[in-house]
Amino acid sequence: MLLYILICVALTLAGVAGLQFMYMFYLERMDAERRKRVTELERQGRQLTHRLADAEQRIADQQKLLDAAYPEFEEEVWADVIDER
């Protein structure tokens, strides 16, 4: 009788160890997918940073053109228009 109990305990422990291994493999897969996602997000962040820098440069160039074309234009005029409303 004791032998059957020991066999059941051994099989139960083997089953628990198997579940732990499966869970460990699952966690490793999730970690690999998370790393891929983080890498992709970092790449997209760098791309967006470059696009933002390009857009800011274009805005600065356009502002220089406007300042050269209309030197009498002042930003304070807009503040007056906003205050009149």
CA–chain centroid gap for 10, Å, is 46
Given pLDDT bands bounded at 50, 70 and 90, which one contains residue 68? confident
Q: How far apart are CA 21 and CA 6, in angstroms?
A: 22
What integer pLDDT is reported at residue 8 of this predicted model?
96
pLDDT digits (tens, 9 = 90+) for 10-65: 999 999 999 999 999 999 999 999 999 999 999 999 999 999 999 999 999 999 99
b/e per residue 26-37 (b: at least 16 CB within 10 A): eeeeeeeeeeee
User: One-letter amino acid identity for 39?
Assistant: T
What integer pLDDT is reported at residue 70 of this predicted model?
81
What integer pLDDT is reported at residue 67 of this predicted model?
85
User: One-letter amino acid identity for 43?
Assistant: R
Q: Are 58 and 64 in contact (CB under 8 A)?
A: no
pTM above 0.95, yes or no: no
Domain boundaries, the chain: 29-68
